[in-house]
Amino acid sequence: MIGNIKWEELVCAVCQTIEERFDVLLDIDGEALDELDEIAKRTIGSYELAHPNPAKVAGHVVFWFRRLRPVTHRPESQNKLLVANETAALYLGLSICDLYRGEGSKETFHLPARVMKDWIASLRYNSHSPHAIAIAFEILTAEH
């Protein structure tokens, strides 16, 4: 948990969605999630906020999720999704922003499919920082 956001509770649902959508079987490394929580708390601490808004939490969690790669394919999975961690990371960030509304957040927001694909590819192949991803979520979810 970071601030009042229980992001860990969303990971299984996110991975289940990916399994159904892409016909893959995934495993989640709980130790990697514990490490992610510890590191994200440390990097988000630079904001010096007791309860950082959901966009900030999403940015840091997404960054570390895709970096630590806690999702693997089960041996019995017939198919592979090479971008499973990046996809799970982005879905997780969007879920955080959707479930936990911060002050000044839109009631609803939409990310077009082509932007999702571009963002997933960017998370896989390009350099990002936790702060840059947090800013992207801020822009996506901000009311004005």
| 115, containing H or E segment | helix 113-125
Instruction: Please tell me the number of Cα atoms within 13 Å of 18 on its side-chain side.
Output: 29
Please tell me the least confidently modeled range out of 31-40, 48-57, 130-139: 48-57
pTM score of the predicted model:
0.91
Domains, the chain, in order of start with CATH, read: 7-142 (1.20.120)
Over the chain, what is the mean pLDDT? 92
Cβ neighbours for 54, distance < 8 A, ≥ 6 positions apart: 5, 96, 97, 99, 100, 101, 102, 105, 137, 141
Rounded to the nearest 5°, which phi and psi values hold at 77? -70, 125
Give the pLDDT band (50/70/90) at residue 102: low
Structure tokens at 101: 């509304």
| 63-82 mean pLDDT | 97
| 116-134 mean pLDDT | 96
Cβ neighbours for 75, distance < 8 A, ≥ 6 positions apart: none
| 49-56 mean pLDDT | 85
